[in-house]
């Protein structure tokens, strides 16, 4: 069998939820499990995050699957209904849709659900992606209050720079000040806001990436935040080459040896979800020692420097990210973030579930 596998730790995910819980204080937690739980599997996430007060997903299909799995907690539909045809299912599955544009209000008015919905009314406080303009709050809130299909309203916004020095206050304060008069519960915090800004907690927090053991910040590691990596992508050396000075390895011979050196070929490529944009120098752990990627990543293989581990041969264990090698370090070297790497884990990679 091809030696690549992803080990996913339910215990680490449950631990990370406890960290999110402790930062949430009296607020309730929506465990964000969109995108197949950031690549970790929806069913695993349901079990690992059973203690969460709610789950947040993107699609009706994800929500329906959670209900089939027995989830009884509230389920937040992060972008709400994509069309009027989704209203009935929202009611049947007892979902909490986010309402963020006027057409969604029209649909609800024209086709009120059999059972009124708890809705999350999203305002744009500066990210300029989804949400009603804050300036329109009076008219929007009063319209939504008057809809017969709406049982209750929670106000919501999302931060653009919670992970940067600009922070959240430039968005949070206008959001809270403008909407204070409505006296409604609210939700604002993603992982980056939750871990640094307790004032963003509100009634519901919405942690995602931290639950999977990655850091939302460039300047603070997941370990420093008390998080444990949930996914370890591992494989083995399946071939060894010796390069003479001047010889190259891989497509384009992008890496060339300066002196005689041993190169290990690892059974992991971009078709497994490893980033093709990773360059020579991207950290790879071989036989427990920190080595580096050499040259271009191929579809099914990549090459690593064996200079630091002369004992490593065919069969030597390799960690691409996870336990012992933070996914954030690999993402940084590949010019992306942990979210993209975790979500991109390919279906062909066998997953082994561990405690
Ligand atoms: C994905 C998402 C989150 C979770 O964000 P993380 O950065 O992964 O913590 C929270 N809120 C909304 C609206 C989202 O779409």
From the CB of residue 145, how many other CB atoms can be counted at a distance below 10 Å? 13
Instruction: Using the structure block, give the residue that is written with the tokens 């309402």.
Output: 99
Asked, for residue 102, whether it belongs to a domain, the answer is yes
Spatial distance between the Cα atoms of 138 and 239, rounded to a whole number of angstroms: 66
208, 104: one domain: yes
197, 243: one domain: no
Q: Is 38 a catalytic residue?
A: no
CA atoms within 13 A on the CB side of 69: 20
Residue 242 backbone dihedrals phi, psi, to 5 degrees: -115, 120
Q: Which domain holds residue 336?
A: 231-354
193, 271: one domain: no
299, 346: one domain: yes
Asked, for residue 108, whether it belongs to a domain, the answer is yes
Beta carbons of 136 and 143 less than 8 angstroms apart: no
For residue 273, list its beta bridge partners: none
- Give the pLDDT band of residue 262 (cuts 50, 70, 90): very high
Asked, for residue 76, whether it belongs to a domain, the answer is yes
**From 123, 206, 213, 222, mutation site for ligand 1 pocket: most ligand atoms within 8 A of C-beta:** 206
3-state secondary structure of 288: coil
Asked, for residue 250, whether it belongs to a domain, the answer is yes
CATH of the domain at 323: 2.40.37.10
158, 61: one domain: yes
Domain count, the chain: 2
Q: Which of 47, 37, 39, 42 is nearest to 10 (CA)?
A: 47
271-293 pLDDT per residue, tens: 999 999 999 999 999 999 999 99
49, 85: one domain: yes
Asked, for residue 220, whether it belongs to a domain, the answer is no
**Alpha carbon of 206 to ligand 1 centroid (Å):** 6
Specify the DSSP class assigned to residue 27.
Answer: S
256, 194: one domain: no
Q: What is the pLDDT of residue 110?
A: 96
Beta carbons of 69 and 62 less than 8 angstroms apart: no
197, 304: one domain: no
CATH of the domain at 163: 3.20.20.10
Q: What is the pLDDT of residue 169?
A: 97
137, 55: one domain: yes
178-213 pLDDT per residue, tens: 999 999 999 999 999 999 999 999 999 999 999 999
Spatial distance between the Cα atoms of 163 and 140, rounded to a whole number of angstroms: 30
Q: Which helix (H) or strand (E) holds 178?
A: helix 169-179
Asked, for residue 226, whether it belongs to a domain, the answer is no
Long-range contacts of the stretch 295-299 (C-beta < 8 A, 24+): 295/248, 295/249, 295/250, 295/251, 295/252, 295/253, 295/254, 295/255, 296/250, 296/251, 296/252, 296/254, 297/269, 297/270, 298/250, 298/251, 298/269, 298/270, 299/269, 299/270, 299/271
From 212, 242, 271, give the residue that closes a domain.
Answer: 212
305-347 pLDDT per residue, tens: 999 999 999 999 999 999 999 999 999 999 999 999 999 999 9
- Give the pLDDT band of residue 92 (cuts 50, 70, 90): very high
User: Which atom of ligand 1 has the smallest separation from the CA of 339?
Assistant: 8
- Give the pLDDT band of residue 131 (cuts 50, 70, 90): very high
From 151, 184, 212, give the residue that closes a domain.
Answer: 212
Residue 349 backbone dihedrals phi, psi, to 5 degrees: -85, 120
166, 287: one domain: no
182, 244: one domain: no
Asked, for residue 92, whether it belongs to a domain, the answer is yes
**Alpha carbon of 190 to ligand 1 centroid (Å):** 5
112, 199: one domain: yes
User: What value does the mean pLDDT take over residues 31-38?
Assistant: 98
Structure tokens at 72: 């009884």
Q: Which of 212, 251, 289, 339 is catalytic?
A: 251
With a Cβ cut-off of 6 Å, ligand 1 is lined by 32, 34, 78, 158, 190-192, 206-209, 216
Q: What is the pLDDT of residue 335?
A: 95
Instruction: Using the structure block, give the residue that is written with the tokens 């980056």.
Output: 192
Q: What is the pLDDT of residue 138?
A: 97
- Cβ density class 21-46: b for 16+ within 10 Å, e for less: bebbeebbbbbbbbbbbbbbbbebbb
Structure tokens at 234: 């591992």
Asked, for residue 277, whether it belongs to a domain, the answer is yes
């Amino acid at each position: 069998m091809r030696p690549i596998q992803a080990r996913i730790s339910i215990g680490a995910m449950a631990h990370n939820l406890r960290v999110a819980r402790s930062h949430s204080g009296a607020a309730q937690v929506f465990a964000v499990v969109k995108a197949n739980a950031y690549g970790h599997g929806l069913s695993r996430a349901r079990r690992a995050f059973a203690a969460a007060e709610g789950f947040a997903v993107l699609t009706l299909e994800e929500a329906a699957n959670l209900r089939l799995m027995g989830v009884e907690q509230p389920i937040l539909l992060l972008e709400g209904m994509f069309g009027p045809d989704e209203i009935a299912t929202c009611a049947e599955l007892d979902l909490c849709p986010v309402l963020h544009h006027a057409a969604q209000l029209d649909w609800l008015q024209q086709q009120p659900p059999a059972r009124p919905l708890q809705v999350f009314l999203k305002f744009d406080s500066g990210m300029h992606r989804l949400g009603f303009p804050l300036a329109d709050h009076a008219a929007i809130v009063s319209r939504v209050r008057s809809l017969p299909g709406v049982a209750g309203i929670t106000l919501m916004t999302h931060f653009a720079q919670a992970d940067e020095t600009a922070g959240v206050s430039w968005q949070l304060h206008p959001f809270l000040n403008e909407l204070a008069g409505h006296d409604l519960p609210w939700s604002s915090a993603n992982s980056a806001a939750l871990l640094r800004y307790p004032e963003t907690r509100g009634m519901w927090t919405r942690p995602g990436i931290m639950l999977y053991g990655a850091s939302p910040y460039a300047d603070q590691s997941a370990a420093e935040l008390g998080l444990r990596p949930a996914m370890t992508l591992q494989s083995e050396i399946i071939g060894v080459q010796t390069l003479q000075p001047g010889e190259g390895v891989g497509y384009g011979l992008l890496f060339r040896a300066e002196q005689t050196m041993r190169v290990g070929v690892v059974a992991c490529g971009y078709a497994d979800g490893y980033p093709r944009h990773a360059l020579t120098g991207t950290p790879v752990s071989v036989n427990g020692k920190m080595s580096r990627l050499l040259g271009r990543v191929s579809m099914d293989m990549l090459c690593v420097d064996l200079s630091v581990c002369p004992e490593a041969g065919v069969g030597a264990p390799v960690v691409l990210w996870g336990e012992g090698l933070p996914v954030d370090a690999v993402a940084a070297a590949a010019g992306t973030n942990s979210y993209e790497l975790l979500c991109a884990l390919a279906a062909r990679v066998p997953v082994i579930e561990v405690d």
